[in-house]
Amino acid sequence: MLGVVLLLGLLFGTGPGMAAASSTEPNAGGRRWFLQASATITDRSLAWPTAEQWSRVLRLQDYNTRVVVLGTTLLGLAAGVVGSFTLLRKRALMGDALSHAMLPGIGLAFMISVAAGGTGKSLPVLLTGATLSGLLGLGTVLAVRHYTRLKEDTALGIVLSVYFGAGVAVLGVVQRMGEGHSAGLESFIYGKAASLVAADTAVIGLASVLVIGVSALLFKEFRLLCFDASYAATQGWPVVRLDLVMMSLVVVVTVIGLQAVGLVLIIALIIPAAAARFWTGAIGCAGTWIAAGMGAASCAIGAAASALLPNLPSGAMIVLVSTGLFLLSLLWGRERGVILRWQRRRALNRKVRRQHVLRAVYEWSEAAAASQPGTLALTVPSVPLPALLARRSWSARELRRELDRAAKDGLLEWRADHTVALTKSGLTEATRVVRNHRLWEVFLITYADIAPSHVDRDADAIEHVLGTDLVAELESLLARQTALPAVPLSPHTIAGVPASGSNSS
């Protein structure tokens, strides 16, 4: 709330960039600056901004730049908050459907205003028509979903196509009217953020305060609704009314975003909420504020880029910046980013391969010691590579690479005869790995009725993620039946002789 007030104060305040603008034409200074990059109005070439232009935009010195940047920033802030809820409710396309549903309301509001003797270009009148039409589209979606067997995505498709078709037909009638001047109505379709004035930004600011305030007051209820609407209903919460309030906030954000990005690109305001999901998996304040921050940053950077390059539309630049932030989050998000997940999977695969190597060396040494009467366990000095190759479906190259990595970490050591042996730390780690594996095997045989000849692969799928708590619970369960040694005997052996097929894993 305080931030919005400060932004509006900055918007209506005076600064160095206002000196060139006259009091009778507030946009003069901004307009002159916007045309600096081109010699004539018909010049559509793009020129790299000068250092002075960068400075003026970054410091928001020009009036028009200040209006556009702050107005779109407030829009992105509100869209990020509401978008986080619609995304969790699996209604990402609701904003797109509602924006298309507002087109006939805009055309009808223009026609009614002209018939009443007005110019038809009053923004409050047009936004009122868009709001009523959007609410009607929202009611249509909810009615189709509740009173028919059609799913919500079908209802959204119906509303989007039917209302947009009606809007195009109404605009066709408006263009043929003898009274009124309909030029500029198409800006609601494609957006025209550069035409924002102080009054428009004030409306966006007030609407943003309303949206953020209602979302903060009903945050707990909205979070429960997004988590499980059926559970919320069983707890006595008014699910239908909460759903209507949430969708009404979507209508408000869509209405105030029409002039900035247009009804075609309004769906892009859901991108920051989708990007925030890569940074946090919790349904809480963190994800909502991340989405709000990304929405505000996307709109601010996109509007500033459009100010630096006047021939690029603001709405398109906002969408492109949002897409860039989404791709950045997709790759580097700390919760679900592709690179982080790849690193985690790579680390897990390395851990699994390391444990397989240590277990193979331990079990071969154990079997070799058991086959020699009077020999203490694990006193065999080293293991030949062919013996390890026979225990798993490794290639010679893969096995040697894993052995080299284990030797580099001090768990194994190479001998002169090209054999390997466990070091002291390697023996400790191998003992832990084998113990966890056999604890799980004994548990599956005892409590899951799995045959000893089939239990090895089942245990192999889970042994690498056994935590200390789970290991302690397995020990307590199995200790009720028998006292376990430090490392349980392999269930694949009979009287100390390895059973056939025990090394199939």
pLDDT tens-digit series, residues 281-301? 777 788 889 999 999 999 999
Q: What average pLDDT does the segment 434-444 reach? A: 80
Listed range (173-182, 303-312, 381-390) with the worst mean pLDDT: 173-182
pTM for the full predicted model: 0.72
Please tell me whether residues 352 and 303 are part of one structural domain.
Answer: no
Please tell me whether residues 215 and 295 are part of one structural domain.
Answer: yes
Contact 469, 461 (CB under 8 A): no
Contact 105, 134 (CB under 8 A): yes
Which CATH number characterizes residue 252's domain? Answer: 1.10.3470.10
> Which of 304, 336, 368 is the last residue before a domain boundary?
336
- In this prediction, residue 209 has a pLDDT band, given cuts at 50, 70 and 90, of very high
Give residue-wise pLDDT tens across range 459-501.
Answer: 666 666 666 777 777 777 666 555 555 676 676 664 444 444 4
For 181, which DSSP code? -
Structure tokens at 472: 């302690």
74 residue type, one letter:
L
Q: How many domains does the chain have?
A: 2
Please tell me whether residues 300 and 345 are part of one structural domain.
Answer: no
Which CATH number characterizes residue 442's domain? Answer: 1.10.10.10
Please tell me whether residues 155 and 82 are part of one structural domain.
Answer: yes
| Residue partners of 502: CB distance under 8 A and separation at least 6 | 456, 490, 492, 493
| Full residue range of the structural domain in which residue 283 is found | 2-40+48-336
Please tell me whether residues 351 and 324 are part of one structural domain.
Answer: no
In Å, how far are 341, 388, 390, 420, 498 from 364, measured between CA atoms? 34, 8, 10, 12, 10
> Which of 315, 336, 357 is the last residue before a domain boundary?
336
Please tell me whether residues 329 and 346 are part of one structural domain.
Answer: no
* Choice between 18 and 127, residue whose per-residue pLDDT is larger: 127
- Assess if residue 504 is contained within a domain: no
Q: What average pLDDT does the segment 95-114 reach? A: 86
Please tell me whether residues 358 and 323 are part of one structural domain.
Answer: no
> Which of 313, 336, 359 is the last residue before a domain boundary?
336
- Assess if residue 505 is contained within a domain: no
Q: What average pLDDT does the segment 267-290 reach? A: 85
Please, what's the largest Cα pairwise distance for the chain? 111
Structure tokens at 96: 């797109």
Please tell me whether residues 360 and 267 are part of one structural domain.
Answer: no
- Assess if residue 503 is contained within a domain: no
Burial of 71 (0-12, 13-18, 19+ CB in 10 A): buried
